[in-house]
Structure 1
Amino acid sequence: MSRKASGFTLIELMITVAIVAILAAVALPSYRSYVTRGRIPEATTALASKRVQMEQFYQDNRTYVDAPAGNNDTGTSTYFDFTAAPGGAETRTATGYVLSAVGKNGMTGFTFTVDQSNAKRTVVSGVPGWTDTTVNCWLTKQATSC
């Protein structure tokens, strides 16, 4: 009486490992891009909110100088530092400002800005999978234009 072998052969196991490796090679870059795109609204939403606060301050005081929304903010976001750029509060004048969200941690290489005329700008530099670019809008996906 012979016993029938049960289980997987080595070749079947190797084919399964190869298929999983191919799927992972395709899925991992897409997942990283998805996670990065999911973090961008943190910057753009905060900048839009800070811009509204700047305009409210201007309505009350007829100047942007000393507006609290333009102060450096490095603690409220995990992935972005917010500043009045370049150089901080001294760039705020009676009639203008530039607010910036500069990426940190997993978002290093991204910089988003907005000014008093609502001119938006994105600078992407050295981010794997993203083209180094500077555009006059807020990029939310891997592209060189909005």
Structure 2
Amino acid sequence: MKTRSAGFTLIEIMIAIAVVAILAAVGLPSYRNYTLRGKIPEATGNLAAMRVKLEQFYQDNRTYAPATAGCVTDSTTSKYFDFTTCSGGAETRTATGYTLFAIGKASMAGFSYSVDQTNAKSSTVTGVSGWTGNGSCWVTRTGGEC
């Protein structure tokens, strides 16, 4: 009588490894995009809140211009974005307008969102595979979708 030993053959193990590799190749990029999309509302929500504060300031003072020189920058309230009123080191607030920026940091590096006093929104994305910016809205999905 022939006895068969228990265990897996090399072919069975190689097939299992190939299946896991295919699933990982499909799943990891989807998961990365999912996590990036989950961090974007932090930027858009804070920009909207900052815009409301500037509009309240304008109602009280009839100007958007700051009382003191220098940019308003907030990097402590957000894990993934820095918020500022500066572009290239220059203040964007004037008596009649402003532009607010959310600049990505850490895992969101490459993402940049902006809004101005007319509520014109724009976004740029650089160096993130599959993502592109959009000059007329805040990008929330790959391919420049808003």
Q: So what's the TM-score if we normalise by structure 2?
A: 0.89
Structure 2 CA distance for aligned equivalents of residues 28 and 9 of structure 1: 29
Contact persistence 1:72–1:88 (CA under 8 A): no
Paired amino acid for 2:24: A
- Equivalent positions of 1:1-146 (< 5 A) are 2-66=2-66, 71-87=72-88, 90-131=91-132, 133-146=133-146
Note closer, same or farther for the CA distance 1:67–1:77 as it changes in structure 2 (3 Å cut).
farther
Q: How many residues align?
A: 144
Q: So what's the TM-score if we normalise by structure 1?
A: 0.89
Structure 2 CA distance for aligned equivalents of residues 54 and 6 of structure 1: 72
1:135 counterpart SS class: coil
2:102 counterpart SS class: strand
Paired amino acid for 1:53: K
Structure 2 CA distance for aligned equivalents of residues 136 and 114 of structure 1: 10
Paired amino acid for 1:15: I
How far has the Cα of 1:103 moved from its partner?
Answer: 0.7
Paired amino acid for 2:109: T
In structure 1, runs of 5+ residues without a counterpart are none
In structure 2, runs of 5+ residues without a counterpart are none
